[in-house]
């Protein structure tokens, strides 16, 4: 059960923050609105979310609040805006939100660099076998240097395929091309402006089928949700080179995890590195067995800087909304 603390009273809009946020942002929210904080930091149940929609003018959810048709099944909501903390909004059912007349905003831009940094971290970790090395060392199994020990794959100068050339994809391209001399190939559902590609020496190909066989590394930066569910399935994994690596910092559902576990176990690809999972925080038991897999617990935006900036971006959106302007990051 959520342990809530009410702060302030008066005619200010009533705002619910569903998880703990950085202290400075919670303080600012409490100063600006009649704010309810979730001190227990446990995710809300669908029932609690429905109650919240009948009580608060604004609900500030995160990826751990599943706002599907069930949680959004409220006849006459008091809530007018879901101001999401995070850029991805695939946990919010667009159709139900539209039906209820809810505005929905997200927090783009401010986490792009940090998420691209994590994608680069994962590329390096999986190619250079950093996870395996750390496990060996901590387990007391390191017997010392030798020429054949934990030999990995060179990253610099290789070909990187980016699936989804939005802000995060472009930031990764910048790092990979200018920092690591990588050749960047892009698959994106719409045509990317030539100058955006040129900045990172990138070229766009027409399909995922065309992209995958070209790449030493494939990094996913497309939205999650129904439209991209299992975009990377067994057939797509078969199109990857047998020494190529798959990186996912987007959303877990973009990859068919059972197919990935199969590809990793049979070494039909070189390895994978995941920051996001299909059923977070539960991890597919087969994946855990795979040594050629690096896993992080959804850390893409987990820096002090990004997490504060995400909070202030929510404050910007709320300010716009309650002062009668169109929120800068409106997605619905
Ligand atoms: C967030 C993310 O930390 O912004 C996103 O979409 O995946 C992460 O960076 C998390 O989703 C907060 O809702």
Residue 16 reports pLDDT greater than 60: yes
Cβ-contact 293, 263 below 8 angstroms: no
The token pair at 37 is: 């904080």
Q: What is the DSSP letter of 92?
A: B
Instruction: Check residue 11 and give its pLDDT.
Output: 86
Residue ranges per domain, the chain?
Answer: 4-110+303-322, 112-295
Residue 42 CB neighbours (<10 A): 15
Specify the pLDDT at position 10: 54
Beta strands in the chain (DSSP E): 4-7, 14-17, 34-38, 58-60, 81-83, 103-105, 159-163, 183-187, 202-205, 217-220, 245-248, 271-274, 293-295
Q: State percent of the chain over pLDDT 90.
A: 97
Which residue did the predictor score with more confidence, 288 or 3? 288
Condensed to tens digits (0 to 9), the pLDDT of residues 61-106 reads: 999 999 999 999 999 999 999 999 999 999 999 999 999 999 999 9
Q: State in Å: Cα 46 to ligand 1 middle.
A: 20
Judge if the beta carbon of residue 228 lies within 6 A of ligand 1.
no
Decide whether any atom of ligand 1 lies within 6 Å of the 87 Cβ.
yes
Confidence category of residue 298, pLDDT binned at 50, 70, 90: very high
Query: Is residue 72 within 8 Å of residue 78, measured between CB atoms?
Result: no
- The stretch 156-160 carries a mean pLDDT of 99
Q: How far apart are the first and last CA of the chain?
A: 30
The percentage of residues in the chain with a pLDDT greater than 70, rounded to a whole number, is 97
Average pLDDT over residues 222-239: 98
112-295 and 4-110+303-322 share a CATH fold = yes
**Fold for the domain defined by 112-295:** Rossmann fold (3.40.50)
Q: For ligand 1, atom 3, which residue shows the shortest CA distance?
A: 301
For the domain bounded by 4-110+303-322, which CATH number is listed? Answer: 3.40.50.720
The model's pLDDT over 126-138, given as tens digits with 9 standing for 90+, comes to 999 999 999 999 9
pLDDT for residue 214:
98
298 CA distance to ligand 1 centroid (A)? 8
Q: What is the pLDDT of residues 187-215, one digit of tens each?
A: 999 999 999 999 999 999 999 999 999 99
Dihedral sign for Cα 131, 136, 137, 142, please.
negative
| Spacing, Cα 308 to ligand 1 middle (Å) | 13
The distance of Cα 297 from the centroid of its chain, to the nearest Å, equals 11
Residues in the chain: 332
Distance CA 75, CA 173 (A): 45
Q: Is the pLDDT of residue 2 over 80?
A: no
The reported pTM is 0.95
Q: For the chain, give the mean pLDDT.
A: 96
Does the annotation mark 235 as catalytic?
Answer: no
Place of tokens 């820096």: 303
List beta partners, residue 202: 184
Alpha carbons 160 and 126: distance in angstroms, whole number:
14
Please answer whether residues 164 and 250 qualify as being in contact, where contact means their C-beta atoms are separated by less than 8 angstroms.
yes
Compute, in angstroms, the gap from residue 202 CA to the centroid of ligand 1.
26
Establish whether 298 is a catalytic residue: yes
Cβ atoms 61, 82 nearer than 8 A = yes
CA distances from 72 to 27, 101, 114, 223, 304 (A): 28, 11, 31, 21, 31
Active site residue 171: no
Only one residue has tokens 């010392």, namely: 144
The model's pLDDT over 29-49, given as tens digits with 9 standing for 90+, comes to 999 999 999 999 999 999 999
Q: Is 85 in the pocket of ligand 1 (CB under 6 A)?
A: yes
């Amino acid at each position: 059960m959520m342990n809530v603390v009410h702060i302030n009273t008066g005619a200010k809009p009533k705002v619910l923050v569903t998880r703990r946020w950085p202290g400075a942002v919670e303080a600012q929210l409490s100063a600006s609105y009649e704010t309810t904080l979730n001190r227990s930091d446990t995710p809300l149940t669908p029932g609690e979310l429905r109650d919240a929609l009948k009580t608060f003018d604004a609900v500030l959810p995160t990826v751990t609040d599943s706002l599907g048709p069930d949680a959004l099944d409220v006849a006459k909501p008091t809530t007018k805006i879901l101001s999401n903390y995070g850029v991805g909004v695939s946990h919010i059912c667009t159709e139900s939100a539209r039906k209820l007349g809810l505005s929905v905003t997200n927090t783009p831009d401010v986490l792009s660099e940090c998420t691209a940094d994590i994608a680069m971290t994962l590329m390096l970790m999986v190619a250079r076998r950093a996870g395996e090395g750390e496990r060996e060392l901590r387990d007391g199994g390191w017997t010392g240097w030798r020429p054949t020990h934990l030999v990995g794959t060179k990253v610099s100068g290789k070909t990187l395929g980016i699936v989804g050339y939005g802000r995060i994809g472009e930031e990764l391209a910048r790092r990979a091309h200018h920092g690591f001399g990588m050749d960047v190939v892009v698959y994106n559902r719409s045509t990317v402006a030539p100058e955006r590609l040129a900045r990172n020496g990138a070229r766009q190909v027409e399909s995922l089928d065309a992209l995958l066989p070209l790449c030493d590394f494939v990094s996913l930066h497309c939205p999650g949700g129904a439209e991209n569910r299992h975009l990377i399935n067994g057939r797509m994994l078969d199109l990857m080179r047998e020494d190529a690596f798959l990186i996912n910092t987007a959303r877990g559902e973009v990859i068919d995890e059972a197919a990935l576990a199969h590809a990793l176990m049979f070494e039909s690809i070189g390895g994978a590195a995941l920051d996001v999972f299909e059923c977070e925080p539960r991890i597919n038991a087969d994946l855990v067995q795979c040594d050629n897999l690096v896993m992080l617990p959804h850390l893409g935006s987990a820096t002090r800087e990004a997490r504060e900036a995400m909070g202030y971006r929510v404050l910007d959106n709320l300010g716009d909304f309650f002062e009668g302007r169109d929120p800068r990051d409106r997605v619905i």
